[in-house]
Structure 1
Amino acid sequence: TFWSTSLLTYQFKTWTRQYGSIYGLFEGTRPLYIVSDVEFLQEVFIKQFSAFHSRRLPFIHKKSSGNKVNLITANGPKWYRQRHVINPSFTSAKLKLMEPMIHGCIDSFMKKIEEYCESKRQDFNIYILYKRLTMDVICHCAFGVATDMQNDIDNEYLKKAEEAVAEKYEENPLIRLGSLIPWLISLLSYVIIGQILLKRFAHKFIPSIEEMPRFWLMERLKYLIDLRTSSMKNEHKKRHVDLLQLMLDAATQSQVTDHIDVSVMSKFLHYDEVCANTMLFLVAGYETTATALAHSAYILAKEPLVQKKLQDEINQHEQNNNEYDQLKNMKYLDWFVCEILRMFPIAPRAMSRECNATTVVCGHTIEEGSVIQPDVLSIHYDPDLWGPEDPNLFLPERHSTPRHPAAFMPFGIGPRNCIGKRLALMEIKICLTRLLRQYSIYPSDQMEEKFNLKDTLLILKPESVYVKIQKRSS
C-alpha cells in the first residue's frame, strides 16, 4: 500500500509499468495522481502554474500560520514575495563571492582525504566526509559562520540536522488518521501541536528528555540571527556577504501584507520568515548536495573510463581559486553531474504540486485539492525520452542531445524549482574538480554491499559509500 512500502519512489516506478503514465490512488481521502507524462507535467509545472502553485504538505504543515513559513511551506502571494526577496542571493555575482568560502571548506576536506590516503586504510565511507563538507559550506556561505565541523566527528549541529532530515512526519498515526478522516484535521492539529509543546516544556525542566532536533537547531539559529542583528547596528563593523545578511536587510518586525498584484508587493520578509528560511537552508541544503557527491563517488569507482575522461578534461584547466568561470568550459563535467542526477535524483518526492482550482490538464479534469506527484524515476529512465542508448547505462554524453523540458527534473521545473540549484551545482563541480585533480577513486570490497538506497520523507540516499582513494601520479 501507499503507506507500507519502504522504497516508495521505486514503488511508483513499478506501478507506472503496470498502470501507465497517468494513474490515481488515494492518500487517505486525498486524490493523488502519479504522473510520468512529460506533456502533462509541463502543463502543471509551467503553463498552468497558477492553478498548481502549492506543494503537497501534511495537514500539520498547512496549519503553520502567520509568518512561520518558508519557501517550502508558503503558498500564493506569500511564497512569491519570499522567492522574490531571496532570489538575488543566487545570482552569478553572489555565487562568485561565495567561491572563496567554498574553496576554504574544500581545503579542509582535501586534508581529510590526504589523511585517509596516508593512513593506508583499505577503504572508508566517503559519504560521511561529504556530509561534513556540505554542512561546513552551508554554515560559511549562508550564515558566515566558521566551524571546525570537518574535524569534529561529534559535531552537534551535524547530528541534529541529520536527525531533523530523518524525521518521518508521514508515519505519525495521527497524521495518517487526519488523511483518512478530514473532519478530524482541526482537532488532530491541536493534539499534535500539543504533543510538541509538551515535549518542549518537559525538556526545560527535565534535560534528560531530549529536545526535538528541529527545535534544537531553531533555538541556536535564532541566537545566531540575533547576534547578526546586533552587529548590524555597529556602522564600523564589516558587513557580511551571505544569505542571512540579504534576508536581514529585507527583514522587519512589522506585519507584512501580501498582494496578488506584483506591482504593489512588499519587498520585506518578517523576522519569523527569516528564521524559518534559515532553518530550511540549513537542513535542506547540506544532505542533498552531500548525497549527489556520494553518488558521484560510487559511479566514479565503478566507471574508470568515465573517471579518466573527467580527469583529462580537468587537466586541461589550470588550478586556481577562480574556478567559477572555468566550470562553464568543462562540458564533460557538466554532462557527468547531469547524468548522476538523472540516474540518482536526490529528492524525487519533493516535486509534488497540489491543485488550487479545478482545471483541465491534457483532457483530464483535476479537482481542487488533488495532488500531482511526478514519477521522476520513470521519467529519468524512459527510453523514449533518454534513448537511443539504454537509460540504465551511465552515459554522460547523452546530455549533449536536447531533451524535453520535463524529461530532466532533479531540481524540479517551472517557477517553483529549487532556489539553491546553482549553488549546489557549483559546490559539486568545484569539489569534484579539486578531488579528481589529485586523486583517483576505486571500489572497495564492501561498496556494493553497503550502498543500499533508503527513501526518507524527501531524500533518496545511500546508506554509505565505501571507496578506496589513491593519489594520482604527477
Structure 2
Amino acid sequence: MLLTDILLIFLVTLICVYFFILNSRYLYFKQRGIPSPPHNFFFGHYKSIWSSPLLTHQFQQWTQQFGSIYGLFEGTRPLYVVSDVEFLQEVFIKQFSSFHSRRLPFILQKSAGNKVHLLSANGEKWHRQRHIINPAFTSGKLKLMTSKVHECVDSLVNKLAEHCDQQFNIYLLYKRLTMDVICRCAFGVITDMQNDIENEYFIKAERCVAEDLEKNLLIRLGHLMPWLIPFLTYIMIGQILFKRLMHKFIPSIEEMPRFWLIERLRYLADIRISSSEKSETKHQTDLLQLMLDATTRDQVKDNMAKRLHFDEVITNIYLFMIAGYETTSTALAYSTYILAKEPLIQQKLQREIDQCPESDNEYDRVHNMTYLDWFVREVLRMFPIAPQAMSRECNTTTVVCGHSVELGSVIQPDMLTIHYDPDLWGPEDPKIFLPERHSVPRHPMAFMPFGLGPRSCIGKRFALMEMKMCLVRLLRHYSIYPGDHMEEKFKLKDTLLILQPENVYVEIKKRSL
C-alpha cells in the first residue's frame, strides 16, 4: 500500500471521527431531558440566531413553544435559555462561584495581562478589580458628582428650547448628554456635545458601539469551530496590528476608534498623575482620580489585592465611557417614548416633581421621589436595555435545580419573558405600563435590567442618578407629545449587547408654571 493511500485512509478516518464527535454533542440536551428546537448539523442553531432580526424576541417565541428551560447549540456549545427564576437564582446568586464568567466573543476574552476590564475579567482578576472600583460608586461619591451631571443636563435643557413645538429625534440629544456626563464624571474633560456636534470623543464612541463583533466572519468561525480560536486570535490580532501600523506610517488612514480613545485616556491619566505629583492637593473628583488613587505601575500580584495596574484603570475608564453613554441614553429614550404615549402618567410625574422644591441636595431629592422611581423601574421592566449581556458561562460542572450543567455551557436568561410573566408581575396585565406595580414586593429574580448577584452592573446607581436628574429637569420645564411618525420610526434593533430603538421622534412644549 502506497504512503499516499495510508495518508488518505488516515485523513478519512480522522474526518469520520470528527463528525461522529460533532454529532454526539447534539445529544447533550436530549440526554438531559431538556427540549430543544430543531438544529442544523455543524451550525447548531446559529442559522436561526444569525438570521433573526431581533434575537430577544426569538428567545420569547421559543420559550412559548419549549418552556421555561430549553436548549440551543452555538455550533456545538450548549446554551440554556432560561426564564425559570428559581434556576436563575441558583446561577446568579447561590452558585455564583460556578458561573462567574460572561459569554463574550473570543477576541474580548483574549485581552492579555493588565488590559482586562470588568466586563471581560474572570475569577480572581474580576473579584480584585470589582473590590477596588466599588467604592467609586457609593452614594457619597455620587453626590460629589451631581453638580457635574447638573451642568450637563442644563446644556440639554437649553438645547431643547431650540426644538420647542417641533418634531425631532430626542434620542440623539440624549446620547450627547450622556457622553457629556461620562466625559466630566469619568475623566474630568469638560465638553458641550449638544453644541459641539463634531466632538471626536462622541464620534469615536459611536463608531465603537456600531461595531458588532458577532457579525465578524472570524468570530463566527470561532463559534462554530472552537478548536480554531488560538489560530483565529492570531489572525485578528495581526489585522489590528497591521491597521495600527498603517495609521502610524500613513496618518491619512484613520486610527481605529477604540485605540484612539484608549490612547487619549492614557494621555489624560498621565497628565493627572503628573499634576498630582507636583501638588499634594487633588482637585478632581471623578472616576479616573478615584481609581488612580489605588494604582500601581508594577506588576499586580495576589498580595496587592488593593491596587489596580495603570493599564487596568485605562481599560475600565474606556469601558465605563462606552457602556455608560449608550445604555443610559437608551433608557432615557425609552422613558421619553412612554411619556409621549402615556399623558396621564406624565402628568402624575410632573405633579410629584412640582411638589418637591428644588434644593442643593439634588441627589437625595430625586431619589426620594417615589413615583419617579416606580416609573423608571417600569420603563426598565418593559424595555430591558442589555438583555444579552446577562449571560453566564459555567466554570465548573454542577447541578442546578436537578439539571446537570456541563463546564463551558452558557446560561442565557430570557429577560423579556421574565419581565412580562403574569405570574411574576400580575394581577395586572404585564403588557400595560403601570408604575404602581412596583409598590408590591416581587420575586428577587423578577426584575433584572442591571443583572443580579455579585456581577450585577457596577454603574447601576450612577445610571439611575443620571436618568432621574434628567427626567426631573425635563418634565419640570416641558411636556412631551408623540411625533406624527413616532411609532413608525421607533423600530427596535439588537446590537452586540444593547436592545435599542432606532429613533424617538417627539414634540415638546414649554410648560406654563
TM-score using structure 2 length: 0.89
Aligned to 2:222: 178
- Using the TM superposition, give the Cα deviation of residue 321 of structure 1 relative to its aligned residue in structure 2, in angstroms: 3.5
Q: What is the rounded CA distance, in whole Å, between the counterparts of 1:233 and 1:457 in structure 2?
A: 40
Please state if 1:108 is matched with 2:159: no
Say if 1:134 and 1:290, in contact at 8 Å, map to a contact too.
yes
- Using the TM superposition, give the Cα deviation of residue 19 of structure 1 relative to its aligned residue in structure 2, in angstroms: 0.9
- Letter of the 2:223 counterpart: S
Specify the SS of the correspondent of 1:342: helix
- Using the TM superposition, give the Cα deviation of residue 238 of structure 1 relative to its aligned residue in structure 2, in angstroms: 4.0
Say if 1:135 and 1:286, in contact at 8 Å, map to a contact too.
yes
Q: Which structure has more RCO (C-alpha within 8 Å, separation ≥ 6)? A: 1
Aligned to 1:140: 184
Aligned to 2:19: none
- Letter of the 2:393 counterpart: E
Aligned to 1:169: 213
Q: Report which of the two structures shows the higher radius of gyration computed on alpha carbons.
A: 2
- Using the TM superposition, give the Cα deviation of residue 394 of structure 1 relative to its aligned residue in structure 2, in angstroms: 0.5
Q: What is the rounded CA distance, in whole Å, between the counterparts of 2:257 and 2:285 in structure 1?
A: 28
Say if 1:35 and 1:375, in contact at 8 Å, map to a contact too.
yes
Q: Deviations over 1:122-172 (max 9, x none)?
A: 311111111111110111111111112221112121111111112111111
Aligned to 2:136: 89
Say if 1:439 and 1:469, in contact at 8 Å, map to a contact too.
yes
Counterpart of 2:412 (choices 364, 369, 373) is: 373
**Unmatched tracts of structure 2, length 5 or more:** 1-47
Aligned to 1:39: 86
- Using the TM superposition, give the Cα deviation of residue 222 of structure 1 relative to its aligned residue in structure 2, in angstroms: 1.1
Q: What is the rounded CA distance, in whole Å, between the counterparts of 1:363 and 1:100 in structure 2?
A: 51
Aligned to 1:261: none
Say if 1:29 and 1:182, in contact at 8 Å, map to a contact too.
no
Q: Deviations over 1:382-424 (max 9, x none)?
A: 1111111111110000101111111000000000000000010
Say if 2:385 and 2:499, in contact at 8 Å, map to a contact too.
yes
Counterpart of 1:325 (choices 364, 376, 384) is: 364
- Using the TM superposition, give the Cα deviation of residue 320 of structure 1 relative to its aligned residue in structure 2, in angstroms: 2.7
Number of equivalences:
466
- Using the TM superposition, give the Cα deviation of residue 208 of structure 1 relative to its aligned residue in structure 2, in angstroms: 3.5
Please state if 1:288 is matched with 2:327: yes
**Unmatched tracts of structure 1, length 5 or more:** 259-263
Identity of aligned residues (%): 72
Q: Deviations over 1:178-221 (max 9, x none)?
A: 12112211111101110111111112222343322111211111
- Letter of the 2:399 counterpart: V
Say if 1:315 and 1:437, in contact at 8 Å, map to a contact too.
yes
Aligned to 1:154: 198
Question: In terms of mean alpha carbon deviation, does 203-212 or 87-96 score higher?
Answer: 203-212
Aligned to 2:102: 55
Q: What is the rounded CA distance, in whole Å, between the counterparts of 1:295 and 1:12 in structure 2?
A: 21
Say if 2:367 and 2:465, in contact at 8 Å, map to a contact too.
no
Aligned to 1:360: 399
> Moved runs in structure 1, 4+ residues, more than 6 A?
none
- Using the TM superposition, give the Cα deviation of residue 9 of structure 1 relative to its aligned residue in structure 2, in angstroms: 1.2
- Letter of the 2:369 counterpart: M
Instruction: Give RMSD over aligned pairs.
Output: 1.1
Question: In terms of mean alpha carbon deviation, does 133-142 or 147-156 score higher?
Answer: 147-156
Q: What is the rounded CA distance, in whole Å, between the counterparts of 1:311 and 1:108 in structure 2?
A: 21
Q: What is the rounded CA distance, in whole Å, between the counterparts of 1:231 and 1:29 in structure 2?
A: 53
Aligned to 1:17: 64
Question: In terms of mean alpha carbon deviation, does 414-423 or 445-454 score higher?
Answer: 445-454
Q: What is the rounded CA distance, in whole Å, between the counterparts of 2:280 and 2:111 in structure 1?
A: 39
Q: What is the rounded CA distance, in whole Å, between the counterparts of 1:185 and 1:172 in structure 2?
A: 13
Specify the SS of the correspondent of 1:23: strand
Specify the SS of the correspondent of 1:416: coil
Alignment of 1:63-462 (within 5 A): 63-117=110-164, 120=165, 122-235=166-279, 238-258=282-302, 266-462=305-501
Specify the SS of the correspondent of 1:273: helix
Q: Deviations over 1:292-331 (max 9, x none)?
A: 0011111000000000000011111112342211223211
Q: What is the rounded CA distance, in whole Å, between the counterparts of 1:57 and 1:317 in structure 2?
A: 44
Q: What is the rounded CA distance, in whole Å, between the counterparts of 2:398 and 2:423 in structure 1?
A: 28
Say if 1:383 and 1:390, in contact at 8 Å, map to a contact too.
yes
Question: In terms of mean alpha carbon deviation, does 338-347 or 214-223 score higher?
Answer: 214-223
Say if 1:100 and 1:321, in contact at 8 Å, map to a contact too.
no
Question: In terms of mean alpha carbon deviation, does 130-139 or 316-325 score higher?
Answer: 316-325
Q: Deviations over 1:361-388 (max 9, x none)?
A: 0000000000101111110011111111
Please state if 1:466 is matched with 2:501: no
Specify the SS of the correspondent of 1:233: helix
Q: What is the rounded CA distance, in whole Å, between the counterparts of 1:107 and 1:320 in structure 2?
A: 15
Q: Deviations over 1:26-71 (max 9, x none)?
A: 1122211111100000000000000000111112222212111000
TM-score using structure 1 length: 0.96
Q: What is the rounded CA distance, in whole Å, between the counterparts of 2:398 and 2:119 in structure 1?
A: 23
